[in-house]
Structure 1
Amino acid sequence: MAQAKSGDTVQVHYKGTLTDGTVFDSSEGRSPLEFTVGSGQVIKGFDDGVLGMSEGDKKTINIPVEDAYGPANEEMIFTLNRSDIPEDIPLEVGMTLNMHEDGNPRPIPVIVRKLDDTSVTLDANHPLAGQDLVFEVELVGTKSPSGIIMPN
């Protein structure tokens, strides 16, 4: 059976957890995740983790911060005056807001980290920045760059 290599398109089922067991994502009940190995479509540790797997293989991939979303960047945590956020937006610690920068049509997701009557601390880091990640992965399909679907 062919092993997944760089350039192959693979389909995987997965469950992603933090090291404390908290599930942050899963393909359960959905179609498998499809990506091209080595193309940068997924985080480096996940990409590297599927190399050498064959269809039907299952494994646990432990991904350190450096090969996941990187460390949290303190420069991406900032405080605004509460009055700078429209009053009709209800705020709660942990919620995600979308900010718009001048000239950038794409919103930037930020997480409310602290909140009081006069200020709001927002975090524009990826929600999984600074975290080691664990993935339970099952390779369910492989397609070589030639487009030939490899048999089971």
Structure 2
Amino acid sequence: MAPVTDGDTLLLHFTSTRPDGEVFEDTRSGEPVRVTLGGNRINPLFEEALIGKEPGETVTVSLPPEKAYGKFNRKLVVTVKRTKLKLDHEPVVGEFVRVEVLGKPCLVTVLDVDEKYITVDANHPLAGETITYAITVEAILPREG
């Protein structure tokens, strides 16, 4: 069979890990993910790494923070008065809550809670981390037409 080329539709399995080796995403227990290369649907570095691979091959791609979930931004960690957040429940440290930031809904992580204030983090939970992906080409699907 011919190797992967731009425009191919692939069935892929992948495992995503943090720098400490913790797996936070693994498709191997389910159906493979269907992806067409060249459609700007996956990270360009993944596409580049997959070109030339054959079914059964696995490629490992490590993305630095700026290519993955972004650098950690200290300005996105803020302490606000409880009354401003307008929560309908008692927040718990580690919980994700939806709040409005500049008129738009935003999902933030609760970092600290006291009687008057709540500290939240609007960074992505994986911001600042290098993420490693092990991507296996399960199949190259026939081109239509």
Deviation string for 1:48-85 (max 9, x for gaps)?
A: 33232211112322222232122123333322212223
Runs (4+) off by over 4 Å: 101-104
Write the distance in 2 (CA, Å) between the matches of 1:41 and 1:94: 31
For 2:108, the equivalent position in structure 1 comes to 110
Within 5 Å, which residues of 2 pair with 1:2-151?
Answer: 2-86=2-86, 88-100=88-100, 104=104, 107-143=105-141, 146-147=143-144
Check 1:11–1:99 CA distance in 2 against 1; reply closer, same or farther (3 A cut). Answer: farther
Structure 1 length normalisation: TM-score? 0.78
Deviation string for 1:89-129 (max 9, x for gaps)?
A: 2312221112245765xx42211123222222222222222
Identity %: 30
* Residue segments in structure 2 that go unaligned for 5+ positions in a row: none
Q: Retained in 2: the 8 A contact 1:63–1:134?
A: yes
Structure 2 length normalisation: TM-score? 0.81
The residue type paired with residue 137 of structure 2 is: L
What displacement does 1:139 show? 0.7
Tell me the matched-pair count: 145
What displacement does 1:17 show? 0.7
| Secondary structure of 1:28's aligned partner | helix
| CA RMSD, Structure 1 to Structure 2 (Å) | 2.4
